[in-house]
Amino acid sequence: MIKKGKLTRGRAVTQSIQSPDTTAIVKTESVVAQPVVGSSPPTPKRSRHDFDPFEDFAYDPAGINAYYQTRFPSVVSRIFTVLWPMLSFALGVWLTNRQGDTSEATQRRQAQRLRELLTDLGPAYIKIGQALSTRPDLVPPIYLDELTQLQDQLPPFPNEVAFRYIEEELGAPPDEIYDDLSPQPVAAASLGQVYKGRLKTGETVAVKVQRPGLAQRITLDLYILRKLAQWATNNVSQIRSDLVAIMDEFGARIFEEMDYTHEGENAIRFAELYGHLPDIYVPKIYTEYTARRVLTMEWIDGTKLTKLTELAEQGIDATHLIDVGVQCSLRQLLEHGFFHADPHPGNLLAMSDGKLAYLDFGMMSEVKPYQRYGLIEAVVHMVNRDFEGLAGDYIKLEFLTPDTDLSPIIPALAEVFNNALGASVAELNFKSITDEFSALMYEYPFRVPAYYALIIRSLVTLEGIAINVDPEFKVLSKAYPYVAKRLLTDPSPELRASLSDLLFRDGDFRWNRLENLLRNASDSADYDMEKVLDQTLEFLFSERGDFIRDRIADEVAKELDYLGNNLVQTVQQNIRQRLGWQQSPASQVTVPTQANSDDSNLDRILRIVDILRKNDGFDATLLARQLPQVLTKRETRDMGQRIVGNLTQRAAARFIRDVLLANTPAKSPEVAPATYR
């Protein structure tokens, strides 16, 4: 019987690395390897910290700084190893530019050379290249395209080391835990390598083992890069983003990736939140065979979404699975806030049963509630070309400081996004929008917050896969129905206020925006008509809906007054015609007409009813069930009193104008709506 290793989590244990200046390092997790029951006494083994002093530690920039400040030779050696090829690359670019060769083909060759260079420099620089591929404010578009193709495939490390790690982490040799294990790794990446195996209970599994000495190699690079970021932020005026914060975000994510226990927990949480979605599959994690440096998970047989021929041979609709991935990503980013930050082709597999499987949960991130609401509002404002509202969203999302002068930025946003948006929502393309927006980064005081880097990475990567499958696929156009649905149905005060701001401007109700929201929301797969109705009525009869109730009452009174007056005038004219009475020009009353009578409020309401009626979830009994409750509400009675008051005022004003002041040419003033409380 195997006695498994146990994890000590949730408590901070201070432990010094075997060196004079490591008191700043704090151990946050430890793995205790238990001896194998019934085996011979184990031979003494060196502590893993003898090989890697940063093993088992969380990212701590102060501790890393304290460790390397007294290891000058190691730092200088690594700087030279990195700097020489980087300087050679930079010199080549400078000479090419000096010769006037700035063609797109030359720039693409340079971008390709940079990608290869980062791959050669090791895991930290591979990850930096991947992170830079999400930063349009830091990297030119041609380099962005090349860096998004960065592959982190590296030579495997020896099996003996991997098997020793399995024994140290899980408390028993591999052959006592697994019934079978592939003789060689089936994949090798920057942080670890994967074996295919089978448990004693028969389940086929993937066993991921971490590279030796990984933490120490990465921390040295992080130390150097953080120092460079600190210098650049303090000395280069053109850089407005907080590069040190970005490096710390980057370092924290890499250290989380190196903790396979954390990755297992991420996978379990991901399955709980999104595993129930249609056509989504999340592999099982075998927690009893998982530790910090070893992860055991269900083996997934699948095909990359980029292998279109193989998918077609299996009868799998790749475009449908891309749409499934987009809808899942929207719920990750905008609903629960816990999202997969690295959905590259190797981490999204099409299964034989037509489901989309997610893999590799090391790089995950979270979006806070206010950020989720801000993103929804920004998309809505962008689609509706409300650039004043969009500028305000950038302040909420921390792209701009609250004291920023928005007056020059609003027209700049209008110019940039009008080019990117095209004529309709169907033309929305995330890549073109980020490319256009990157130009503004250098002209205005925008700064991309650290949390947003992984959001861009996720969306750009996903759209890249989508475009490879279907060149006409537009992630944002597919996303907008979900965003519209959230805006109409989410009960949060933030989105209720945003909906009110969207639909009302300067006291006028913008019917076209409501029609646009309803049309797009009806395209969302989980659009719930009953929920829309419930949320609408809840908001309408709440204190926050007071202004809207007044506007509806005034619009109803205006429409009834117009229809009633028009009816009276028509009846009078018909009676005079039948009796043969002639009306003098002085006493003739012109029948009032509404401006743009072809698009009256009644016409707009009828169009909205038609949109709702055509929805698959429409049920007339929903309205019938709600009607008695609506009619008995105090707010409904108040609206009725306001309508009657307005009609009375209008009738009185018309009587004074048409009868008492019939011979007076002066024009009567506009009548203010009655107020009843």
Q: What is the 3-state secondary structure (H, E, C) of 264-321?
A: HHHHHHHHHHHCCCCCEECCCECHHHCCCCEEEEECCCEEECCCHHHHHHCCCCHHHH
According to the model, what pLDDT value does residue 155 have?
A: 74
Lowest-pLDDT choice from 114-118, 137-141, 181-185: 137-141
More confident residue, 307 or 581: 307
Reply yes or no on whether the pLDDT at 162 is more than 90: yes
What do you get for the CA distance between the two ends of the chain, in Å? 78
Identify whether 506 is a catalytic site residue: no
* Chain centre to alpha carbon of residue 667: 56
Q: Nearest to residue 488, comparing CAs of 517, 511, 515, 468?
A: 517
Query: CA–CA separation, 354 vs 279, rounded Å?
Result: 7
* 196-207 core/surface letters (b: 16 or more CB in 10 A; e: else): bbebeeeeebbb
- Give the mean pLDDT of 295-309: 91
From the list 342, 360, 393, 490, the catalytic residue is: 342
Lowest-pLDDT choice from 111-125, 244-258, 409-423: 409-423
According to the model, what pLDDT value does residue 541 have?
A: 73
Q: Nearest to residue 205, comparing CAs of 268, 290, 298?
A: 298
* 416-435 core/surface letters (b: 16 or more CB in 10 A; e: else): bbeebbeeebeebbbbbbbb
More confident residue, 547 or 488: 488
- Residues β-bridged to residue 586: none
Query: CA–CA separation, 5 vs 170, rounded Å?
Result: 5
User: pLDDT-based confidence at 340, cuts 50/70/90?
Assistant: very high
Average pLDDT, whole number, for the chain?
77
Q: Kind of pairing, strands 30-32 and 6-8?
A: antiparallel
* Chain centre to alpha carbon of residue 64: 32
Q: What are phi and psi of 402, to 5 degrees?
A: -60, -25
Query: CA–CA separation, 391 vs 401, rounded Å?
Result: 11
∠ at Cα 140 (139, 143), nearest 5°? 85
Considering the entire predicted model, what is its pTM? 0.70
Q: Of the spans 61-75, 283-297, 492-506, 518-532, which averages the highest pLDDT?
A: 283-297
User: pLDDT-based confidence at 358, cuts 50/70/90?
Assistant: very high
Query: CA–CA separation, 589 vs 659, rounded Å?
Result: 11
User: pLDDT-based confidence at 646, cuts 50/70/90?
Assistant: confident
Domains of the chain, residue spans: 70-148, 303-527, 529-568+602-652
According to the model, what pLDDT value does residue 274 have?
A: 95
According to the model, what pLDDT value does residue 40 have?
A: 41
Q: Do the beta carbons of residue 124 and residue 110 sit within 8 Å?
A: no
